[in-house]
Structure 1
Amino acid sequence: MLEKHEYEEFRSAVRRLAISKIQPHASAVDKEMRFPEEALEAFKELQLVALPFPESIGGHGGDLLAQAISLEEVARVCATSSLTLMVIWAGLGPIARYGSDQLIDEIIKPALDGDTVASICLTEIHGGSDVWGGKTKAEHQGNDWVLNGQKRYITNANRSEWYTVLARTSEEEFGIFAVHKSDPGLSFGKLESKMGVRGSPTADVMLDDCRIPEYRCIGDSGKGNHYMTESLAIARPMIAAQALGIAQGALDAAIEYVKERQVFGQPVARFQMTKGTIGDLATKIEAARQLLYHACEASNNKQPDARVLASMAKLLCSNVAMEVTTEAVQLHGGAGYLTDFPVERMMRDAKITQIYEGTSEIQKLIIAKSFLSN
């Protein structure tokens, strides 16, 4: 873990990168619904893809707080770009944590350079939140595994090289598998047209007798549910960081706008109701930030309450993001409803943070369960 001043220096570096290399393309990425290639290239400058991985294989040590700060700063200017980075981490993470040396050499080490795009394939047609109700199956045949099923709403979809797939290996057990884009039997559904994060391609991933070599089973073929539960505990603070960044970006834009917008002969920023709204939103963002950073530190230190703190952070940060972006549009008045201003995009982007990697309702259940079981 870094010292406090080192985190702030890192934040400043990521902010400069985001403003100079990612923000100029954010509007076009959204309007044209295209993958943020410029952001992928920008990540290389600070080796952001390498952040979650052990130093022993060329990564930067897996400091969750540093990852959260980087996502926060990228999402502050472009939610799609932050999602791209986050899902690369999510797709590669289980391989790095539980995969064999062969998989790490083949997949993770080359990915650290920043050119590899990855996906994680959990959700299925009949229930997004019911991960363990998935019907995708993996059958061991000789020296191969054969996968059959359909994964829904997969981020990075047809842009990824590697797909980490959760599949049922028996009636009660799951495994996770590394599937390459070129593997026979892998195909994609239509690209979805979405409300927000529109530059991130989302589509179904179909596995039709998709045959992969035996060594691409990640870890124990019966412990996939355990591996994924641990992975989700890491992923949820990252969603919280994305949400927090969107909220901060929207508040920054609103403050800039109300200082310039003139009504009744004076800037809107001088009105008491405007000041009250700004003060309220800034306080909620900072409260959410402190909870998120606490959750990251708990995870870094492997504290027993890390999982519930991750759910709390995701719940609070995503709710704050939705509230702040909505109020930011309101502070813009009629202009906020136009695509000329970034708050319109930010409001659309914020909504998904309340839904993916476990809806707000699921987070409440996880939190309540932790207290009621004591």
Structure 2
Amino acid sequence: MIERDEYKEFRNAVRRLTESKIRPYASQVDLEARFPEEALDAFKELELVALPFDESIGGHSGDVLAQSICLEEIARGCAASSLTLMVIWAGLVPVAKHGSPKLIEEIVKPSLEGDVVASICLTEPHGGSDVWGAKTRAERKGEEWVINGQKRFISNASRSDWYTVLARTAEDSFGIFAVHKSDPGISFGKLESKMGVKGSPTADVLFENCRIPDYRCIGDPNQGKFYITESLAYTRPLIGAQALGIAQGAFDAAVQYIKEREVFGQQVARFQMVRGTIGDLATKIEAARQLLYRSCEAVDNGEEEARVLASMAKLFCSNVAMEVATEAVQLHGGSGYLNDFPVERMMRDAKIAQIYEGTSEIQKLIVAKSMLSN
């Protein structure tokens, strides 16, 4: 897929922003395991939070390809920062697509200015991949909904202002609900100590008779399964984009290092085995990019195969990210094992892309089911 000029200009703008305002803090954010506030401020400069949303509510109507390019470029410098933006989008998009005008006014419009952080709450303690086994329940009582349950591994938890929550409304029905951090009955577990993306806080979100007004039910209280399935088809390419950005960032760092490092009187980059590795990794990165962009095109056009292409992109890009980051550490030799060099962080960050938003195994099953049903 050939990028049109407007995409190239946008890519370059995000790249400049990342290099000047986000990458310089990436190592510090990781070492201190703190929220990347600098990135949140940087997003405002290009109004990146507003990118996916309709112009009628103050957004920029950016398609999934534009969003993927954005996350790819940010992840080249800091995976935690790309995750921060992606999770904000994931929390807000269902509200913007299915919420009432009142909800859009209350939640989405103020968020587009960049000061409001959002999360989406799907996973539960008994099984991350079994989304529809969720036990969290929402019960209508008068003019309120009362939510009880526990969500696990929630990104931006405790830092977010708004939480989009999947809850069972009947035996076989689900709804999604907008919960504010100040609502009675919401609380947070301890912050998890993680392998990577340490700048993105992760914790349980608990609901104990959490009461919210009736209008905070997003759309039809029995259509949550459709809303979330639709959302996953949209967000999986974004995970692929994040993974692709990590892969490209690790590759760039490795190329720079082997061109500067000398062993046995010559550049490491002059050794034939090293060149073979570089050629292999570059090819896989470009293959991942083309599959990702094709999946974005399918999602944007509402194509029938969009869901399976999204799973293919998420699967392939995350695997490439893990391979490239691991090889980048190897190409650095002993230096790659030190946190003085970014590839150590990138290798740790890459792993999560194979796990969240549907593990690699789940993506394989989705793809296989599509192939075998024809």
What TM-score do the two structures reach when normalised by structure 1? 0.99
The CA distance in 2 between the partners of 1:299 and 1:174, in whole Å, is 24
Counterpart of 1:129? 129
The CA distance in 2 between the partners of 1:233 and 1:317, in whole Å, is 15
The amino acid across from 1:12 in the alignment is N
The CA distance in 1 between the partners of 2:313 and 2:6, in whole Å, is 23
Partner-residue secondary structure (3-state), 1:113: coil
Counterpart of 1:192? 192
The amino acid across from 1:74 in the alignment is I
Counterpart of 2:306? 306
Structure 1 gap ranges (5+):
none
The CA distance in 2 between the partners of 1:306 and 1:214, in whole Å, is 34
The CA distance in 2 between the partners of 1:125 and 1:114, in whole Å, is 31
Partner-residue secondary structure (3-state), 2:147: strand
Counterpart of 2:100? 100
The amino acid across from 2:72 in the alignment is E
Counterpart of 1:45? 45
Counterpart of 2:201? 201
Counterpart of 2:171? 171
Show structure 1 runs of 4+ deviating over 6 A.
none
The CA distance in 1 between the partners of 2:299 and 2:231, in whole Å, is 11
The CA distance in 2 between the partners of 1:127 and 1:147, in whole Å, is 19
Describe the superposition over 1:161-212 as per-residue Cα deviations: whole angstroms up to 9, x where unpaired.
Answer: 0000000000000000000000000000000000000011000000000000
Q: Is the aligned partner of 1:210 residue 2:210?
A: yes
The CA distance in 2 between the partners of 1:273 and 1:266, in whole Å, is 14
User: How far off its partner does 1:337 sit?
Assistant: 0.3
The CA distance in 2 between the partners of 1:306 and 1:79, in whole Å, is 25
The CA distance in 2 between the partners of 1:62 and 1:4, in whole Å, is 14
The CA distance in 2 between the partners of 1:366 and 1:62, in whole Å, is 27
Counterpart of 1:243? 243
Counterpart of 2:327? 327
Counterpart of 1:222? 222
Counterpart of 1:347? 347
The CA distance in 2 between the partners of 1:51 and 1:260, in whole Å, is 38
Describe the superposition over 1:99-127 as per-residue Cα deviations: whole angstroms up to 9, x where unpaired.
Answer: 00000011001111111100000000000
Counterpart of 2:26? 26
Counterpart of 1:14? 14
The CA distance in 1 between the partners of 2:88 and 2:134, in whole Å, is 22
The CA distance in 2 between the partners of 1:300 and 1:173, in whole Å, is 28
What TM-score do the two structures reach when normalised by structure 2? 0.99
The CA distance in 1 between the partners of 2:43 and 2:304, in whole Å, is 32
Q: Is the aligned partner of 1:55 residue 2:55?
A: yes
The CA distance in 2 between the partners of 1:205 and 1:286, in whole Å, is 38
The CA distance in 1 between the partners of 2:112 and 2:166, in whole Å, is 23
Partner-residue secondary structure (3-state), 1:190: coil
The amino acid across from 1:18 in the alignment is T
User: How far off its partner does 1:224 sit?
Assistant: 0.2
The amino acid across from 1:361 in the alignment is E
The CA distance in 1 between the partners of 2:132 and 2:3, in whole Å, is 40
Counterpart of 2:91? 91
The amino acid across from 2:353 in the alignment is T
Counterpart of 1:368? 368
Partner-residue secondary structure (3-state), 1:146: strand
The amino acid across from 2:279 in the alignment is G
The amino acid across from 1:348 in the alignment is R
The CA distance in 2 between the partners of 1:287 and 1:3, in whole Å, is 15
Distance 1:283 1:233, change over 3 A: same
The CA distance in 2 between the partners of 1:255 and 1:115, in whole Å, is 37
Distance 1:235 1:124, change over 3 A: same
Percent identity, aligned pairs only? 76
Distance 1:343 1:3, change over 3 A: closer
Partner-residue secondary structure (3-state), 1:210: strand
Structure 2 gap ranges (5+):
none
Describe the superposition over 1:22-56 as per-residue Cα deviations: whole angstroms up to 9, x where unpaired.
Answer: 00000000000000000000001111101111111
Partner-residue secondary structure (3-state), 1:159: coil
User: How far off its partner does 1:62 sit?
Assistant: 3.7
User: How far off its partner does 1:3 sit?
Assistant: 7.0
Partner-residue secondary structure (3-state), 1:76: helix
CA RMSD of aligned residues (A): 0.8
The amino acid across from 1:261 in the alignment is R
Counterpart of 1:158? 158
Q: Is the aligned partner of 1:279 residue 2:282?
A: no
Describe the superposition over 1:340-374 as per-residue Cα deviations: whole angstroms up to 9, x where unpaired.
Answer: 00000000000000000000000000011111111
The CA distance in 2 between the partners of 1:194 and 1:90, in whole Å, is 21
